[in-house]
Amino acid sequence: MSASIPVEAFGPNAQSVDVPVLDSHLHHIEEGEGSPIVFLHGSPSSSYLYRHVFRALKGQGRLLAVDLIGFGDSGRPAIDYELADHERYLDAWFDALDLREVTLVLQDYGAAFGVSWAARHPDRVRAVLLAEPVIRDIESSALPEAFVGAQQLIRTPGDGEKFVVEDNGFLTQVFPGAFLQPLAPEDLAVYQAPFPTPESRTHLIRFPRNLPIDGVPATSVHYLARNEEWLRTSADVPKTLLTYEPGFLLTPTIESWIRENVANIEIRSGGAGVHFVQEEQPQGIADAVVELLKRSQR
């Protein structure tokens, strides 16, 4: 598959790497040396989301921004693209690169997968940063009415397929609306490039349908609940939660739960932002990572 993510956007020394995993490959952008800092994105974006943060962290370690399976320039194997599938491919990627002493920078579903990996590999985690995470069941009453309506449409058999797969509504309507300021057309084009046809968009419906809202689907709620014990007991791993105004998925209820239950957590304002905050507040995220690295050395 030809590259759709411009590597030069990450810096002059960044490299595009394909790592064979299971029956496919995961693609990542890499730069630097030292302890690894791994950036995980969510739906429906790619590693491109972290390009500005990447540049701001030059010299802080071995930076790796990976594309989830089926996204960006990673492979498209014939799988169901459920949460467990993404976990399997990411696990294989972490193992193929033998990553240890990892600082995780996590957003959206990247938080679900990153925290899950940390909980199952506690001896390989150095620190964790969360921004707009998928980490708990979300109450619909705290979400924008338009988004709740879109979610209901997407979850309706037939109608959801028409909106996401056939009409490309998730990438052309929902995604562009999740920013304070509209994305530059050339940047929006990078995010949309991997999904030019209905056939290429078939799996895009899985993430929105799996988003845990008001306890549904129960499989996603259970997936996230598996990580709670590690979050409560991992006092040796410093963690940072960034909050944004107005924000989106980090509801007041979830923020309160994190504040009360997650060990060694510092909560700090990330500034103005909606959900894809790497586009809106990259320097603030980079600064928070630098501070987190200092905390992890104490």
pLDDT for residue 2 is more than 70 = no
Contacts of 2 (CB under 8 A, 6+ apart): none
Confidence (pLDDT) at 4? 85
Mean local confidence (pLDDT), 66-78? 97
Dihedral in degrees, nearest 10, Cα atoms 167, 168, 174, 175: -170
pLDDT in tens, 170-227: 999 999 999 999 999 999 999 999 999 999 999 999 999 999 999 999 999 999 999 9
Q: What are residue 96's phi and psi, to 5 degrees?
A: -60, -35
Mean local confidence (pLDDT), 257-266? 98
Q: Which residue has the tokens 């929006």?
A: 188
Q: What are residue 147's phi and psi, to 5 degrees?
A: -70, -40
Confidence (pLDDT) at 298? 63
Mean local confidence (pLDDT), 23-50? 97
Residue 254 to residue 175: CA distance in whole angstroms: 22
CATH architecture label of 7-140+217-295: 3-Layer(aba) Sandwich (3.40)
pLDDT-based confidence at residue 136 (cuts at 50, 70, 90): very high
Contacts of 84 (CB under 8 A, 6+ apart): 223
Confidence (pLDDT) at 1? 43
**Whole-prediction pTM:** 0.96
pLDDT for residue 3 is more than 70 = no
Question: Where in the chain are the domains?
Answer: 7-140+217-295
Amino acid at 136: R
Q: Which residue has the tokens 């030019």?
A: 196
Confidence (pLDDT) at 131? 98
Active site residues: 108, 132, 275
